[in-house]
Amino acid sequence: MSKVLVSRGMLKGSVQVPASKSAAHRAILCAALAKGTSRLSNLSENEDIEATISAVRALGAVVEKDGSALIVDGTNTGKAKTAAIDCNESGSTLRFLIPVAAALGIKTVFTGAGRLPVRPQKAYMKLLPQKGVELLCKKDVFLPLTVKGQLQSGVYEVGGDVSSQFISGLLFALPLLKGNSETILTTPLQSAGYVQLTLEQLEQYGIEIEKTENGYRIPGAQSYKACDLALESDWSQAAFFLAAGALGGDVTCIGLNKDSAQGDKKIVSLLKQMGADIAWQKDGSLHCQSNGSLYDFEVNASQIPDLVPILSVLAAFADGTTLITGARRLRYKESDRLSAMADNLARMGIDVQEQEDGLVISGTDGVTGKALNGYKDHRIVMAMSIAAAKLFGDEPLTITDAHSINKSYPNFFEQFNRLGGDAHVV
């Protein structure tokens, strides 16, 4: 297991933000379901995206790489009778592909690694057997999972407070069925930006979905149409470097879409609320630097769960007490992120209280640190690396599980160092 040694030092300069992982998952799947060839440019490689590429290949798509572009031919997708899909640790891959495989009528065995086999899949376990699909797995361990049978159209009632990945998975699959379908959200939708991103991608590929008062109406017998797309940059990843700018650095992020459906663009208004100097430049880049002290804040993170690790770091260095709520689902990610952040902040000498659905963090000056735990979680490792660059002390701070960044951002430390950081993976 690798670890990273991070020394104190402020990050300054410009960084090209990698392509959105969320957009890439969706575009690859849509392209694989289209009867034709699509070209996806500006792709950033990582383990999660590799899992989705392997998954659509298993369903019959032909996928080839051309530099930073991906060429996807979906002509033969769905013709296989059986498939085996290794999702590695990618929740998006698993939750998007389960209903799609069922809609295609392909008997599929799903496997995974890390915490993915125990991450909740109960929404599908309840819904899909009502619609002609058999799901076979061990009790309380969802992988390996065998999916067989033909998904049927109809009305699907699902809670909006479960992972939005379940709702997106249904939106990908239901247009493929002969009959019309409807999804009804029985509770308010969380992570709504991710579902909006799904709807935008589906529209790009010729799929029509009508938003209703409490869900979505999905006409059946639709066909995905091949198209070429340039993938937008990732707001979730940009947030780490924007936070570094707010913590005393001077960082410009290049390639972000101001009008993105990605919920994590909320980081801009949150940093302004904290007192950071953040503004769009004439060339379309986004610049962030410190404007003196940061202030405490309150945030309901139900729509922006991926921001919680880096928001926790910002809170650690802010004046006053910050309250983060609405983050209960973080307990079922690659790690229990609420517990992981509470532990690491305590190791830094921060007064932190872990609550059922969030954190209460009292910021302080002169934060020091001991060895930190990456918890085999890419977002924990990256968040704590930004924190380590701000800590007082002459010795490098050690963070375990540095290899975890390969899940979403393999060149994170390369860009970190290019901005003047001092991180060495050993």
151-189 pLDDT, tens per residue?
Answer: 999 999 999 888 899 999 999 999 999 999 999 999 999
Kindly state whether residues 357 and 239 are assigned to the same domain: yes
247-261 average pLDDT score: 96
CB of 8 closer than 8 Å to CB of 392: yes
CB of 61 closer than 8 Å to CB of 77: yes
Mean pLDDT of the chain: 96
Q: How many CB atoms lie within 10 A of CB 333?
A: 24
pLDDT on residue 416: 98
The answer to whether residue 188 sits within a structural domain is yes
pLDDT on residue 365: 73
Which structural domain range is residue 263 located in? 3-18+232-425
Kindly state whether residues 28 and 120 are assigned to the same domain: yes
> Backbone phi, then psi, for 72, in 5-degree steps?
-120, 120
The β-bridge partners of 424 are: 5
SS3 102: helix
15-25 average pLDDT score: 96
The answer to whether residue 41 sits within a structural domain is yes
134-153 average pLDDT score: 94
Asked if the model's pLDDT at residue 5 lies above 80, the reply is: yes
The answer to whether residue 226 sits within a structural domain is no
The answer to whether residue 227 sits within a structural domain is no
% the chain with pLDDT above 90: 92
CA distance 340 to 90: 19
Kindly state whether residues 237 and 374 are assigned to the same domain: yes
Angle at 14 between CA 13 and CA 19, to 5 degrees: 150
Confidence band for 315, pLDDT divided at 50, 70 and 90: very high
DSSP string, 165-193: HHHHHHHHHGGGSSS-EEEEESSPPSSHH
Confidence band for 295, pLDDT divided at 50, 70 and 90: very high
pLDDT on residue 367: 80
Show which of 183, 216, 249 is a domain's final residue. 216
pLDDT on residue 358: 98
Asked if the model's pLDDT at residue 125 lies above 90, the reply is: yes
SS3 350: coil
237-260 average pLDDT score: 97
Task: Name the domain count of the chain.
Answer: 2
Name the maximum alpha-carbon separation found in the chain: 66
SS3 344: helix
The answer to whether residue 221 sits within a structural domain is no
pLDDT on residue 322: 98
CA distance 362 to 373: 20
Asked if the model's pLDDT at residue 366 lies above 90, the reply is: no
| Both tokens assigned to 114 | 């890390």
Find tokens 């390369």 and name the residue. 414
Show which of 189, 216, 243 is a domain's final residue. 216
Kindly state whether residues 153 and 29 are assigned to the same domain: yes
The answer to whether residue 114 sits within a structural domain is yes
Asked if the model's pLDDT at residue 255 lies above 90, the reply is: yes
Kindly state whether residues 33 and 123 are assigned to the same domain: yes
Active-site residue list: 306
pLDDT on residue 369: 79
Kindly state whether residues 193 and 319 are assigned to the same domain: no
Burial level of 136, CB count in 10 A (0-12/13-18/19+)?
exposed
| Both tokens assigned to 118 | 């125990």
CA distance 377 to 383: 10
